Amino acid sequence: MTVKPAATVHAAQCRVPRARLGIRQILPWLLLLLVLPGVVLAQDDRVSKRQKIIEAMKLMGEVYERVIYNYVDELDPREVAEAAVEGMLAELDAHSQYLPPINYEDLMLATEGEFGGLGITINIRDHYPTVISPIEGTPAYYMGIRGGDQIVEIEGESTYDFTSRDAVKLLRGPPGTKVNIAIHRPGLEEPIPFTITRDIIKVDSVPYAYMMGDIGYIRVQNFSRTTATELRTALDELKQQHMRGLILDLRFNPGGLLEAAKEVSELFLEKGKLIVFTKGRLRQQNASFYSEPKRKQTYDEIPMVVLVNGSSASASEIVAAALQDHDAALVVGTSTFGKGSVQTVFRLNEEEALKLTTAKYFTPSGRSIHRDRDRQAMEGADGDMPPDLDPEPAELEVPRHEKEQFRTDAGRVVYGGGGITPDIEIKQDFLTDFEVAVERDGALFSYAVEYANRHGDVPRDFQIDDALLAEFDEFLQQRENIDEYLEVFDLAMSDSLLTANRKFIQRGIRRELMRHAFGPEDAYKVALEADTQLHEALALFAEAESLQELLAIAAKWNAEEIARLEQEATDQQTDDLQN
């Protein structure tokens, strides 16, 4: 197809004698002359791009066909196609992914907050899928499944050396269908057969909400369609207990639905406040989201601290940033993950989908949430989910005083650079090498199950004495894999090693005994006893009665921290010059 130059088109179409044309008649044609070349060029660009796409698809098809029919070994056509897709997406950001059926199902579960199953939390312990705890009110709970039960068979198939995913794939299914399992219970010689009817299992987005003195504590573990409703219920219950302050814990929260983040933010923001906006390559990807509370009551009268860390991502960052930019809460912890990109899920068929990055998130003050990472830095992050700990070493974080500055509604300084920089930084304690090895082995859980089987469940005020510790030491040393797990860290089992880790062992045994006797929340409360980040956040309420006082503490801390960092930089420059 040949496209005539714009001037030729104009001359051919204009049949009015030139002498009779006035400025009012000429002006539209002059504008057309200016615009039409751009239109033609845009058409040329579109044609050229489409031609390139067709040629590229032809190349892919030809290579695929020759590989399938001519490679030395016979290949599975489906596997080769999936490998080609994965290779294509590997050139994009880490969050753009092909979702085969099981990954697409996982995505729907994370966002919908429910699935068809039995209602148990499992992990692999001593080669078998083992029940950590049943979820109250579910089929497994009513059938008497207990924490510590080992699932040794599913539908007659041995589960020895199953992965958790292997077990979950067989245990989940449409509500109303049945599954046959065999359980090995400590203290019994023969496995116990169970036939359990699957039901809809609701996964709590807000698993823990309780008072810590006169301060309310709420843990939000993801953002699904039920999150705002669950959070409002928790807030109302804590208000009835006269909480004077709130800690909203978003640590290790990988995010979820944008709509859920918006609804959670609306619980604390006035109507009309900007929550987040997006920018993409296509116009339809640009959008702004404002607070539109469905109820007049908000909870902005309660002084609030939002806890974040390097594994707070996506929707967690949207909420933390919105509350920070509008001076509605104090953000405390460590810088967040920086997952500030928007993914659109394109369904390929009934079971598969393509998750593609189409835009980026920006906070109300204009900060980009996104922090660029290559795919190697995201290894182990399971795609959209950040890993349990931020993969970037602390030394790669840009110092606070070097970051771009933005302003909140009240004029406070907040920082850009990807992720959300907290108002007050509180370092996070990590497990020691010994603690990692013991937790990986599952020894604390297994010992608690055996102890409860011999002695019965313990009371909430149960204390770990020296005799019990000695018994656990012997139990630990007999574990099949503990020496291997210790060797990874160049450690070897010894009395001195056990003695040096007494507090961890005591707390760990008590945590698992509480889980067995009373459930996950009691175990969680024991685990938080060693959470220094949380306890430092709680201590802020001892110094401040109001949100304004909390923000004043943060301003003072920030000024001192900037001064310290600048002094360190000056000292380093002096040392470099002297050397």
For residue 59, the one-letter residue type is L
The answer to whether 427 is a known catalytic residue is no
Q: Which of 96, 311, 314, 368 is catalytic?
A: 314
CA–CA gap between residue 287 and residue 173 (Å, rounded)? 37
Q: Which of 262, 339, 355, 403 is catalytic?
A: 339
CA–CA gap between residue 527 and residue 521 (Å, rounded)? 10
Residue 509 to residues 422, 465, 492, Cα–Cα distance (Å): 34, 11, 21
User: How long, in residues, is the chain?
Assistant: 579
The answer to whether 325 is a known catalytic residue is yes
The residue assigned the tokens 């989910």 is 385
The answer to whether 314 is a known catalytic residue is yes
Specify the DSSP element, H or E, that contains 60. helix 23-70
From the centroid of its chain, how far is CA 108?
Answer: 15
Q: Which residues contact 87 (CB under 8 A, 6 or more apart)?
A: none
Q: Which of 199, 204, 249, 325 is catalytic?
A: 325
The two structure tokens encoding residue 476: 């630990």
From the centroid of its chain, how far is CA 100?
Answer: 20
Helices (H), 479-531: 482-487, 495-500, 502-518, 520-528
End-to-end CA distance of the chain: 70
Q: Are strands 304-308 and 330-333 parallel, antiparallel or unpaired?
A: parallel
The two structure tokens encoding residue 548: 């304004």
Q: Is the dihedral of CA 187, 189, 195, 199 positive or negative?
A: positive
CA–CA gap between residue 329 and residue 223 (Å, rounded)? 19
Answer yes or no: are the C-beta atoms of 306 and 332 closer than 8 Å. Answer: yes
Answer yes or no: are the C-beta atoms of 372 and 346 closer than 8 Å. Answer: no
Specify the DSSP element, H or E, that contains 183. strand 178-184
Q: Quote the crossing angle between the two packed helices 466-477 and 502-518, to the nearest 10°.
A: 90
Residues annotated as part of the active site: 314, 325, 339
